[in-house]
Structure 1
Amino acid sequence: MTGATSDFGAVVIPRLLEDDRIEEVVGISRRHCGIRHAKFRHVRLDIRDPAIEDAFDGCDTVIHLAFVVSEIRDKKLTDDINIGGSINVLESAARASARHLVITSSVNAYGNPGTRDPLDENTFPMGDRNCYHHHGKAMVEHYVEWWQRRHPYAMRITVLRPTYIVGPHFANDGIAAMAGRFLAIPDANSSSFQYLHEDDLATAYHLVVRQPFSGVFNIAPRETTPVRRLAAMHGQVLADLPMKLGQPIADLLFALRLSKYSGDWITAGEPPVDASRFRRHTGWAPTLTSDEAAALMLLHRARPILDATFVPRRAQACETVLRPTTEFIAAQPGVSTPMLRPPEHHQLESPGGATVHVEHHTARRTPSLTVLVVPAPGLHARFYSHLAQDFDDDIDVLIVDQPGTGLSAGPRRAGGPAATARAVERAWRALGRNQLSETIVVMFAIPRGRTWPLYSRPELLTVRGWARTEGRLAALRRSGFAAVHIEADPLTPGTARDALSGILSDRRNATASPADREMSTTPQDWEHNGLCH
């Protein structure tokens, strides 16, 4: 695989390494590669180097990912790498007797076809001479077609044209612009993108490696997301930028080194495409819709979803958005219990078009108690999901994302103590037990003085805390809930787990027989130096 250190490589290589039928993956790049795996071998080479043929020796399949996407100023060098390097990869793979070559193209190879109807693979890739990337992708495809006509039986070649890829491994100027507070784009009323999640991209490449076949294939979700809809999702101010004005301004800013990209990237979205051919050949189907992938892109860039229509609702979409947090928490010391049973996800409608997201960890038998967990300000439900795995089989656990946090729709930092109380009451009425006497609210707070490192990682969906603990606790109690407060760090979950177990033990002790109560622990046994209040 060329381009092993690219964002594409970061998601495709692990998927290939998981396959027991793949004996070895050779990653080629100019930069150091941090992947460590018994089946992975790294070779530092430029794709223009003739020695790349030796790296291909013995490989059944060559996947070509390397391409200059982030703009450099030397366009002659850009074409030499993108076009000349790709030609060298193709011819070297053939000389090394590789049986299959996978070329990574793009839907932008179509250029500007002048229609918003979905394009199939029969549409000629015209490219765009005004954009080095689009032009380069089209020129590589033209050479591949010419070469195949001259060598029809030499090697199977698969050309993949993916749409816009998003996910935790993808960060670029385009994503930053689309997740910004302001965006100027040509033809704003008709421009659109088809957002594809990185997991679905990795699946597509894995299928092509396992089922080698020749041909050109679009890789895209069925739906499109207009830029107007994307802007409405997170409250972005969208301006219609005339192409004739935008390109020279961008070129000037790029020449003055005030911008990272030139007028090459001032385009009216991407041409919509139809991926039916690839679905028929492989059975591939994207796990997220374009709108769900767009919502993930925004949430992972610390942007809110303001329109409740587009907040993640399906369990698979919710779990995909939360996966970086799930993996981060699972790697922390003290998290001994993995999340064996994924929770139910609920989006409860709230006044003003917002929603309250609730993780519902259902009891395995008829519940005797409902525990509503309120995360510490700035955190969200997934930071406390691992605690629910330790609860008894007859306890229902509802972990409530406060307004403006986690997967709840609405402005970040929305509301204060009263909003928290309303969110908890909304969750309890919709999903909890009918009796307040069978319900307890456990509210967490981060220990005072704790230096919190997670706000610099937007993919974890953290928000800087804003609500005072005392106010939230008082608001919950005014609503009639039995509410307790635990000051504990979820990154050292042993303390939180012990304190919570003590509270539940005391709760059960209050309803036990006198004989059983005498043998139970006292509140002093589980106060843990004042962490529980």
Structure 2
Amino acid sequence: MAKQKRPQILVTGAAGALAQQVIQRLRDHCDLVAVDFREQVYLGDDIPSYRIDFTKRVFEDLFRRYQFDGVIHLGRIQSSQLTRMRRYNANVLGTQKLLDLSHKYGIQRVVVLSTYHVYGAVAYNPALIDESAPLKAAGLSSDLVDSVELENLANIYLWRYPDLNITILRPCNIVGPGVRNSIGTLLASERAPVLAGFSPMMQFIHIDDMADAIVLAYKKPVRGVFNVAPDDWVAYQQALKLCGCTRIPIPSVPPVVPRLLLKALRLKSFPSYLIAFFKYPVIIDGRAFSREFGFRPQRPLREIFHFYRENKKPV
């Protein structure tokens, strides 16, 4: 009896903790190739790893060499990283090149990681935001334009090339060991800023649960866009308290004041383009993903906050 061929999967964003968690879950039954725009990482002798700019011609060589069955695109550069132009090139032009090559080489499964930030934080957001809500972030902050454009691009390919079986995931705040995003840095800090008079509800998903969600999504080729979030939430200031953070009130008006204060205090973990997310709640409805993929987060908020309380980092 012929031995069944193991799926060959390209995983982008390999330098990130989330991609490495996904790789650990897949490596026993898939042949993986890891790439990252920022750095080359060693993931074991069994996993080829590359540092490659997706917009360069050499990127196509990987598709010729490995004959991928699927792509898990976790390589979105966060808004706190790189300059705006380099981030745009990586997130938008790089993703376009990745999807073009996926179509050209007959890839049959693509999972794209987006972010709940694309919805934008405004005072009149609905209490629970589902996948049909408009993506307002681009009109609110130029620093989030590339996140929205990445998603719009993936949506175009989702409908234009149904054979790619594209699934787009919009997770809430991903936190936990190894996560280096803005909210994770805040929860790990001994002192963290808050906007005086504001404490919006927030959702958090543990990196282990998010990695499980990505693997579930990859294994079941359902096309579409899905929020990924638990069905509980907590006020931002309460989250800081439970994580053992000392809260630093920052005046919220006029708008220039918090920006100047944050710059003076050198609080880079509280970037000005995300200030609205610390003022207005953005609670996403993750029920469609839970129903379709049978997803149930295993790490409760108390476990998340206990980790940050026990692992404080001086600012």
Q: Which range, TM-score by smaller chain?
A: 0.7 to 0.9
Answer whether contact 2:54 2:98 (CA < 8 A) is retained. yes
1:182 partner amino acid? R
The equivalent of 1:384 in structure 2 is none
Selected match of 2:91 from 57, 63, 82: 82
CA apart distance, 1:103:
0.9
Partner of 1:35: 43
- Matched to 2:78, the amino acid is V
Report what 1:220 is aligned to: 229
Distance in 1, matches of 2:245 and 2:73, equals 38
- On the 8 A contact 1:188/1:228 being kept in 2, the answer is no
**Residue 211 (structure 2) aligns with:** 202
Which whole-Å CA distance do the structure 2 matches of 1:29 and 1:239 have between them? 37
**SS class of match (1:267):** helix
Choose from 44, 50, 56 the match for 1:49.
Answer: 56
Do the aligned partners of 2:12 and 2:35 also contact (CA within 8 Å) in 1? yes
Q: How much has 1:16 moved relative to structure 2?
A: 1.1
User: How far apart are residue 11 of structure 1 and its match?
Assistant: 1.3
State the percentage of identical aligned residues: 21
Cα 1:3/1:250, change in 2 over 3 Å: farther
Alignment equivalent of 1:272, drawn from 275, 280, 283: 283
Cα offset, 1:71, TM superposition: 2.6
Which residue of the other structure, out of 287, 300, 305, is the alignment partner of 2:311?
Answer: 300
Match of 2:276, SS state, is coil
Partner of 1:392: none
CA contact (8 A) 2:201 2:283 kept: yes
Q: Deviations over 1:184-231 (max 9, x none)?
A: 333753413211111101111111121121111111111112112113
Q: How does 1:313-392 map to 2 (within 5 A)?
A: none
Partners of 1:27 and 1:111 lie apart in 2 by 31
Equivalenced residues, count? 295
Aligned amino acid, residue 112 of structure 1: A
Q: Which residue of 2 aligns with 1:118?
A: 128
Give the TM-score taking structure 2 as reference length.
0.83
- Decide which moves more: 121-130 or 208-217: 121-130
Q: Name the counterpart of 2:18.
A: 8
Contact 1:2 1:64 (8 Å CA) reproduced: yes
Distance 2:53 2:154 in 1: 20
Per the alignment, residue 33 of structure 2 pairs with 26
**If you compute each CA radius of gyration, which structure gives the higher value, 1 or 2?**
1
Q: Given the alignment of the two structures, is residue 94 of structure 1 paired with residue 103 of structure 2, yes or no?
A: yes
* Structure 2 partner of 1:107: 116
Q: Does 2:185 match 1:176? A: yes
Aligned to 1:147: 157
- Distance, in Å, in 2 between the alignment partners of 1:246 and 1:68 is 28
Rounded to whole Å, the distance in 2 between the matches of 1:104 and 1:187 is 33
For 1:161, the aligned partner's letter is R
Q: Is the 8 A contact 2:190 2:313 kept in 1?
A: no
Aligned partner (choices 127, 138, 148) of residue 138 of structure 1: 148
- Assess, with a 3 A threshold, how the Cα gap between structure 1 residues 122 and 172 changes in structure 2: closer, same or farther: closer
Q: 1:290 aligns with which of 301, 305, 309?
A: 301
Contact 1:112-1:128 at 8 Å conserved across structures: no
Preserved contact between residue 171 and residue 228 of structure 2 (Cα < 8 Å)? yes
Secondary structure at the counterpart of residue 273 of structure 1: coil
Match of 1:193 among 196, 202, 205: 202
Corresponding residue of 1:452 = none
3-state SS in 2 of match to 1:8 = helix
Matches within 5 A, 1:235-254: 236-239=246-249, 241-242=251-252, 244-246=255-257, 248-249=259-260
Distance 1:237 1:44, change over 3 A: closer
Which secondary structure state, in structure 1, belongs to the residue aligned with residue 225 of structure 2?
strand
State the 1:251 CA deviation: 7.9
- The one-letter code matched in structure 1 to 2:104 is R
Match for 2:44: what amino acid? R
